[in-house]
Chain A
Amino acid sequence: MQGELDLSEDNLVQMALTGDHDAFAQLVQKYTPDVFRTASMVLRDRDEVEDVVQEAFLICYRKLKSFRMESSFKTWLYRIVVNLCYDRLRKLRRESAAFTKLSLNFNVGNGDMSEIDNRIDLKEIISSLSPEHRLVLTLYYGMDFGVKKVAQTLGIPVGTVKSRLSAARSLLKERLERGQEYAL
């Protein structure tokens, strides 16, 4: 099954490379949803995400000729999306100092103890991670990229990807253990 999909994608890409507009359109339809979701895990504003996705495909379309098939089309496309997201983040950070929580450490603080619900909100923890960490989790867990592919897409060493994954796991593990202490 997987083999079949890859083959048909390769075909689509080849056709798109030769200028087949419909083939490229099919690639757009295929990847838009997941690319949109991935960008949404990094950027908050929906309009911005749409802009990024649109721009990514436009760049893709323009640069199709220089796509050398060293990586898969998917990795290449995601790489463009990620870079566009980072560009936006940089600009947003310049404009607003207090932009996003960038710390990996999600401090519980005393306030949490008064909460009736002691369940750890894992999604909140993930949301509070830096965009770069969120991206690793999104691609690895959400989009089923292997460690190597995550590294390729983000342009970072495999070791960095692994350390971010293990940091997320350790953080969660520690929080779960602490949570068990608080549970009645």
Chain B
Amino acid sequence: MRCEIVRPMLHDLLDKTLSPEEAREVGDHLAACESCRSEFQELKRVDDLLREAVCEMINAIEVPPDLGGRIEKILAERKNKTLVGWLAAFLKPPAVAALLLTVVAAAGIFSFHNYFRPAANQSKVVLEDPQTSSKQLQNENAPGGLSLLTLDGELHDELSAPAEPEQLEQSGERDEVRAVQDRVSAGGGSGAAADLKERQASSVKLQVPPAAPQPTQEKSFPAPAAGGFFAAAAPSLKKGTIEEAAGEVGFVPARPAYLPRGAELQEVTWLSGTICQSYRAGQFSFTISQSRRDVAVPFYDEAARQGTPVQINGLRAILQETRPETVGGTPRVFTTVRWQRGEWIFSVCGDLPGEEIIKIASSL
């Protein structure tokens, strides 16, 4: 074997990827050829140095001693939780979840495409007070009308009507719908936090839109309605001006110093300890939510596990994106950034590009 052939094989020799015969031939050559031998020895030295350095780097990494135990715990909890409870753990802040219940219940009953209109109309539909908007919705939506925007008996009635087969792709969803209706009728119309939690827990099950593929990963989560995240459903949700919100909830929400071009505040709504500001910028829309930590904590901590860590002004935040959903004919991706600053939990959510969402978030 000639040196030119052996030289490239020296790496293979180190990697142990030579066949026994090749290894023997190379070995024979090395025994006879001093220059190749010293080349190999140099390579081996380098290989050993690399191994040593990599191992030192790896061993220097401190593993949190309780990590394995924590993971075990989570798995054990996961095993015990029902599907509903598990989904509840990944829920968004209360205002969003309450809205999603209505939005998705609607989506479950009517075809997805009917409900999600182009953004311009959509925000109007979503944001208005249930009492005044039900008629409007009836006009705007598919035959049958949509009168489910309160959680009282109306929702119950809508859900108990047999849903059209094509709108509930899986029988599992139908069962989920029944589960919600049971919970709702049990919970009544009160806006108590406990009830809201119940509804939120059950609402997540409905969040699989019939026309969209079933999310298979824990990471994916339901597409929120474009145009705003205001629960027109929960009886205790209110809307008005920032001053009114501040007066009722007890704090003045942060305003963004940066707004995308053409962005305008559309509406302010609030619910228990959360204030939401809804903006529209051209064809895009986004919502800024702010709540006190104690209000949001059960949902925030778990939800925080599902997403990408980002930094908002040096604070650790979580960014989540939905898969592209076709809304009003165009695919939209909804991005949410959620973080904590002191006693406050903030979130910015919208169908703007992620960078814009982060800019807005950073400017609060």
Q: What residues of chain A have their CB less than 8 Å away from a CB belonging to chain B?
A: 21, 24-25, 28-29, 32-33, 36-38, 40-41, 45, 47-48, 50-51, 53-55, 57-59, 61-62, 88, 91-92, 94-95, 122-123, 126-127, 137-138, 141-142, 146-148, 158, 162, 165-166, 168-169, 172-173, 176
Contacts and interface: CB of A to CB of B under 8 A. Distances in A.
B6 interface: no
B310 to A, nearest CB: 6
Interface in B277-330: 305, 308-310, 316, 319
The A interface is mostly helix, strand or loop, or mixed, namely helix
B218 A165 contact: no
Contact of A147 (B15, B56, B78): B15
A56 B308 CA distance: 14
Contact of B58 (A142, A146, A148, A176): A142
Given A51-B309, A95-B310, A172-B46, A138 B78 contact: no
Interface of B: 11-12, 14-17, 42-43, 46-47, 49-51, 53-59, 61, 63-64, 67-72, 74-76, 78-79, 217-219, 305, 308-310, 316, 319, 354-355, 358
Nearest to A29: B68
Contact of A50 (B14, B15, B64, B72): B64
Given A61-B75, A95-B310, A137-B54, A122 B49 contact: yes
Contact of B75 (A58, A147, A162, A172): A58
Nearest to B76: A21
Nearest to A54: B71
Nearest to A172: B46
A88 B308 contact: yes
20 contacts: A21-B79, A28-B71, A29-B68, A37-B63, A40-B61, A47-B309, A58-B75, A95-B310, A122-B53, A126-B54, A137-B50, A142-B57, A147-B15, A147-B17, A162-B12, A162-B17, A165-B11, A172-B50, A173-B43, A176-B46
B54 A138 contact: yes
A59 B47 CA distance: 35
A123 B78 CA distance: 40
Contact of B57 (A41, A51, A54): A41
B54 A54 contact: no
B61 A54 contact: no
Contacts of A45: 309
B272 to A, nearest CB: 29
B51 A141 contact: yes
Given A138-B58, A172-B50, A21 B354 contact: no
Contacts of A24: 75
Contacts of A94: 354
Contacts of A127: 57
A95 B358 contact: yes
Nearest to B48: A141
A35 B51 CA distance: 18
B308 A91 contact: yes
